[in-house]
Amino acid sequence: MSDLQHRLDEFRNQVNWHLACGSVADIAFPVTSHDGGHAVVVALEDETMSSVLGRLRAVGGAANLFVQGEGRVRIVSVIDESCATPCQGTSGSAHWRT
């Protein structure tokens, strides 16, 4: 297993834990699928864009994207322009150390 894949797997486990019972467990994420699910994609700041876009395509193109950088995690809402609508009342932030 490559170092990149190992770090990605570790980050995915951290995100899953925080979604289940950690600092983001009570946040209503704005991106939902047509069936009401909340797709989550994880990425590392130093990954190629093509890798991240491939993961986004695999979940249908729209997702709540968690990106791990140097000492921080960014959460990005990725949506298709055909379903882009203003989100109201979805502000919120969460922090955890990586």
The yes-or-no verdict on residue 11 having pLDDT over 90 is yes
Q: What is the pLDDT of residues 59-86, one digit of tens each?
A: 988 999 999 999 999 999 998 766 655 5
| 23 φ/ψ sector (left φ>0, alpha ψ -120 to 50, else beta) | alpha
The yes-or-no verdict on residue 90 having pLDDT over 90 is no
Contact 60, 35 (CB under 8 A): no
Q: Report how far residue 44's alpha carbon sits from residue 52's, in angstroms, rounded to the nearest whole number.
A: 9
- Mean pLDDT, rounded, for 1-21: 95
Q: What is the pLDDT of residues 12-53, one digit of tens each?
A: 999 999 999 998 999 888 898 778 888 999 999 999 999 999
